[in-house]
Structure 1
C-alpha cells in the first residue's frame, strides 16, 4: 500500500494482464497498480525480434479486427498509425499431394458452398459426395456440448473433419477436433446446430451474415504484434516487475497477501485486490488453498505446446513466388509442419522492409506431439527447410533462422469447457477483490484476451468502489470513484 491509495496487483504480464492494468488505471487514476511476472520480459506469447534484419513476430502474428477489442486497445495506446493489414493473397490446404485453395464460404472449416468445395479439390470424390447428404439426414439432436468432430462427422462425413476442420482448429488451438468443444470453439455453428436440421444450411446463413465489404479480417502492427505489450505497459502507468514469481496468495482481513520470490528469501506484498492473468495451471496452483473449487477446475484444462520456425531466404532462392499467403496441413497427412505462413507475401510491409528477402514461418507441434518438439533447434530448422523445399521448391540455405518454443502455450477448449469456466467464475465470484483473465476462458486470440481483461478490471473497480462507499478500504478513505 502507498499512502491511502488502493493497491491492485496483477499477476501475469502477458497482453491480458497488461490490458487489465491499463483498464484499471483508466477507471481509477488514484489506484496503484503493480504487475508481476516471473519471466524476464513482458508480453507472454506476444514477442517480436529481427530475422535477417526484419522485425518478425515469434508468437501470434495478427489479431481479428472484426472483433474490436484488440484493435481499439492498440489505437488507445498510440499505435493506430502502426496498424497494417494483410494483402489479398489466399490461404491453402496442403492435402492429397498438392496445395489446394481453402474453399470459399467455409465457416471454421464447415463448408457452405458445395461448388466452391468441389472446385477446391480438398476432398476425394467420395468425401465430396457425402457432404450434401447432410440435407436429407434426420436432425442430429444436440442437448449437451459435444466434440466438433462428433457433430460435423455425423452431418457431413469424416473427410470434412479430417481435411478441413482439423487443420483450421489445429492452427488456432494446436488441438484435436475429437476433443475440442463445439460450443466453445464454434459457438455460431453450435447455436445454429440447435435450430437448423442441416449443417450446410446453417453454415450458409452464417457465411451470409458477413457483409461483402466488411474489410480485412486481420491486422498486425508494423513492427509486429510483439510491440503491443510494451505500448500497453507504458500507457498503463503501472509498476511492472519482471523476474518476480508469485508462489502463494492468501486472503487477509484487509485484502490479499502475496508471497513472491525464492523460498529462502520471500517477499511479502500486500494488496487490496488481485487479478490473476496467468495460464490455467499456474492460476490453479495459486488458488489451491483459497478457492479450491476453482483450482480443481483449472487443473483440468489441458495445454498444448508448439514451436515456430522462422526462415529468411533470398528471394532468388524461390523458382517462383510462393503461392498464396500460406497453407494449413491436416494431421492425416502425417507431416511435422502443421502450418506455414509466407509472411512476406501475407504482409506487404514485410516485403517492403527488404524486397530481396522472403520470410516464412513454420508451425510445428499439436497436442500429443511432445516427442517431436523435443528435437533440438537445428533439427526443427531442418524439418522446416525440407518442408519449404518440397512444397515451394526453395533452393539453398536461408540467410537467417529462428526457433521459438512455446511450451504449454495453448489452452484446449475440450468438451464441457464453457460449463467448466462458469464453475470457475462462480467460485471466484465468492471471493471479494479477486478476478481472472486470459486465454484460458473465452478465447485464445488477442481481442478475446483483452475483453477478459476489461471485464476483470471492471469487477475490481466495482469492488473497490463498493468498499470505498462502505469505508472499509483505502479507497474509502480517499473517496475513490472509478470513471
Structure 2
C-alpha cells in the first residue's frame, strides 16, 4: 500500500510542499486540507476594469530563485515581470528624502551619496563612520536589530535609514527584533570584514559582478506576474491537482492525533489516517491541536502585528505627485499612521490602465490598534490625510479597497531563533513524520515560505 501525506493549509507553503512531494515521490498520496473556499492564503489579486491589484503580498525577491524555478516549470515563464526601478524615499522630519544611492537596507556603502544626503546631519555621518574603526559587536547568541545597528552606525542612521527599511518588513519594533532570526548576514559580514560598512561594500561588489554575468537582465530586484501573484497560485493549484493531489476545501481540522504508527486527521465527522502530516498554518490555528503540549507555550505569548493594505485608484488629473519614484517608507519618529506607500502604477506599470494612478499604503505598527479601531472608510480617510503631506489630491479616488490582515505578522523578538530550534527538535523527537512550517517559525517572504516547505518535505520523505 502506498504512503500518504496530509498537508494542512493551501497557502503558498502548502501548495509548493505538495509540488515538491510529487516531484520527488510521485507515488506518495497527497491530500491538502483547506478551511476556506480558495487556495493561496494571504495572496489575493483583485482584477477588474484593467487593474491588477494585490491585496496581500505585492511581489517577491527575484534573487531567491526557488519561486521563479517553479513558475517556469508550471508554465508561467512568459508571464514573469520585473519591477520598474526608480528613486525610493524615506519620509522623516516632515519631508521626503531620497534613499542615498549605494545603501543596502540603509547601510551606506558609497561615501559620496551618503555625505550628500540631507537625511542625516554631519554629526550623524561622522558617528556612522566610526563603524570602520570599531571592533565587532559582542553578543550572547542574539541581539536586537536596533542594538546592533545603533552600536555600529549610531542613533541617527538607525532611526532615519535602518528602522524605516527593516522594521516594516517584520512588523516589529526594531529594538525587540531579533537580528539572528532576520538579518544574520549583517553580523556575518561585520565579523568577516571587521566593519559593517566594509562588509556590505563587499556584498554590493559581489551583486554587481553577478549582474555583469547577465548584462541584459532587468535591474529591478522584485518579480511579479502579468496577471498578478494569484496567477502563480492558480497555475500551481492546477498543476498539483493534475499530479493527483486532492484538495479538500472548506474543511477545517478539529484535531490531529498521533497513533502508534501514523496520524489521524479529524475534520467534521471524518477521521482520515495518514503516514505523515505537514502543517503550514499560522500558530493561532495549529495551537488548537498542539496547545496542550508545554513545548509549544512560546506561541501562546508570541506578539503579532495587525496590518492593513489600503489601495487608492485615481484618475491622473485628480492627483499631483511631483516625486519621480516608486514609493517611500516612513521613519517611526514621524507622526503618521501609514508605515509605507508604493506608487504601484509607477513600480508595476501593468497593474493600472492608461490615465490612472494606483497607490498602495500600509497601515499598522507593532502594538498599535489603528486597524482594529477604525472602519474601512475611516482607514481610507486616515491614509488620504497622511498622504496629503507628500502629494496633492485634486479629487476623490475612483475607488478604494481595504484589506485587513489581523495578527498576521508574528514578531521575532530577541532569542526567537533558539526557541524555534528547541521546538523543532521537540517536534522531531516526539512527533515523528510530522513537521510544522510557516511565518511563526521563520520565513516572511514568499520564496522563503516555499524553501521552508521544501526543506520540510525532504525531511518527511526521508522518514517515510
Q: Which interval holds the TM-score relative to the shorter structure?
A: over 0.9
Equivalent residue, structure 1, for 2:428: 429
Equivalent residue, structure 1, for 2:281: 278
Q: Report the alpha carbon displacement of residue 411 of structure 1 after superposing the two structures with TM.
A: 2.1
What are the equivalent positions in structure 2 for 1:262-277 lying under 5 Å apart?
A: 266-277=269-280
What are the equivalent positions in structure 2 for 1:49-68 lying under 5 Å apart?
A: 49-50=46-47, 53-68=50-65
Are the equivalent residues in 2 in contact too, given 1:9–1:271 (CA < 8 A)?
A: yes
TM-score by length of 1: 0.89
What are the equivalent positions in structure 2 for 1:57-136 lying under 5 Å apart?
A: 57-136=54-133
Equivalent residue, structure 2, for 1:26: 23
Equivalent residue, structure 2, for 1:350: 351
Higher mean alpha-carbon deviation, 132-141 vs 185-194, is at: 132-141
Q: Report the alpha carbon displacement of residue 95 of structure 1 after superposing the two structures with TM.
A: 1.3
Are the equivalent residues in 2 in contact too, given 1:33–1:239 (CA < 8 A)?
A: yes
Equivalent residue, structure 2, for 1:222: 226
Equivalent residue, structure 2, for 1:446: 446
Are the equivalent residues in 2 in contact too, given 1:23–1:454 (CA < 8 A)?
A: yes
Q: Report the alpha carbon displacement of residue 387 of structure 1 after superposing the two structures with TM.
A: 2.7
Equivalent residue, structure 1, for 2:8: 11
Are the equivalent residues in 2 in contact too, given 1:307–1:373 (CA < 8 A)?
A: no
Equivalent residue, structure 1, for 2:463: 463
**Does 1:146 pair with 2:143?**
yes
Are the equivalent residues in 2 in contact too, given 1:52–1:400 (CA < 8 A)?
A: no
Equivalent residue, structure 1, for 2:335: 334
Q: d(CA) in 2 for partners of 1:359 and 1:87?
A: 14
Q: d(CA) in 2 for partners of 1:201 and 1:59?
A: 36
Are the equivalent residues in 2 in contact too, given 1:306–1:373 (CA < 8 A)?
A: no
Equivalent residue, structure 2, for 1:317: 318
Aligned to 1:154, the other structure's residue is in SS state: helix
Aligned to 1:258, the other structure's residue is in SS state: strand
Q: d(CA) in 2 for partners of 1:17 and 1:138?
A: 44
**Does 1:252 pair with 2:276?**
no
Task: Output one character per residue of 1:217-238: Cα deviation in whole Å (capped at 9) or x when no partner.
Answer: 1101111112222221111122
Equivalent residue, structure 2, for 1:480: none
Are the equivalent residues in 1 in contact too, given 2:16–2:453 (CA < 8 A)?
A: yes
Q: Report the alpha carbon displacement of residue 302 of structure 1 after superposing the two structures with TM.
A: 2.8
Q: Report the alpha carbon displacement of residue 11 of structure 1 after superposing the two structures with TM.
A: 0.6
Task: Output one character per residue of 1:202-247: Cα deviation in whole Å (capped at 9) or x when no partner.
Answer: 2222222212562431101111112222221111122112222112
Are the equivalent residues in 1 in contact too, given 2:337–2:370 (CA < 8 A)?
A: no
TM-score by length of 2: 0.92
Q: Report the alpha carbon displacement of residue 388 of structure 1 after superposing the two structures with TM.
A: 3.0
Task: Output one character per residue of 1:110-139: Cα deviation in whole Å (capped at 9) or x when no partner.
Answer: 222332223232223332232112233454
Equivalent residue, structure 2, for 1:470: none
Q: d(CA) in 1 for partners of 2:322 and 2:66?
A: 35
Q: d(CA) in 2 for partners of 1:454 and 1:372?
A: 34
Q: d(CA) in 2 for partners of 1:394 and 1:256?
A: 58
Q: d(CA) in 1 for partners of 2:289 and 2:115?
A: 51
Equivalent residue, structure 1, for 2:214: none
Query: CA 1:72–1:301 in structure 2 vs 1: closer, same or farther (change >3 Å)?
Result: farther
Aligned to 1:17, the other structure's residue is in SS state: helix
Aligned to 1:49, the other structure's residue is in SS state: strand
**Does 1:240 pair with 2:276?**
no
**Aligned structure 1 segments of 4 or more residues deviating by more than 4 angstroms:** none
Query: CA 1:109–1:364 in structure 2 vs 1: closer, same or farther (change >3 Å)?
Result: same
* Count of equivalent residues: 453
Equivalent residue, structure 2, for 1:475: none
**Unpaired runs of at least 5, structure 1:** 465-483
Task: Output one character per residue of 1:377-414: Cα deviation in whole Å (capped at 9) or x when no partner.
Answer: 00111112223333121321111110000111122222
Task: Output one character per residue of 1:156-207: Cα deviation in whole Å (capped at 9) or x when no partner.
Answer: 1111111112111233112111011111211110112334443222222222
Aligned to 2:388, the other structure's residue is in SS state: helix
Query: CA 1:227–1:321 in structure 2 vs 1: closer, same or farther (change >3 Å)?
Result: farther
Q: Report the alpha carbon displacement of residue 421 of structure 1 after superposing the two structures with TM.
A: 2.0
Q: d(CA) in 2 for partners of 1:240 and 1:118?
A: 56
Q: d(CA) in 1 for partners of 2:49 and 2:318?
A: 15
Q: d(CA) in 2 for partners of 1:320 and 1:90?
A: 13
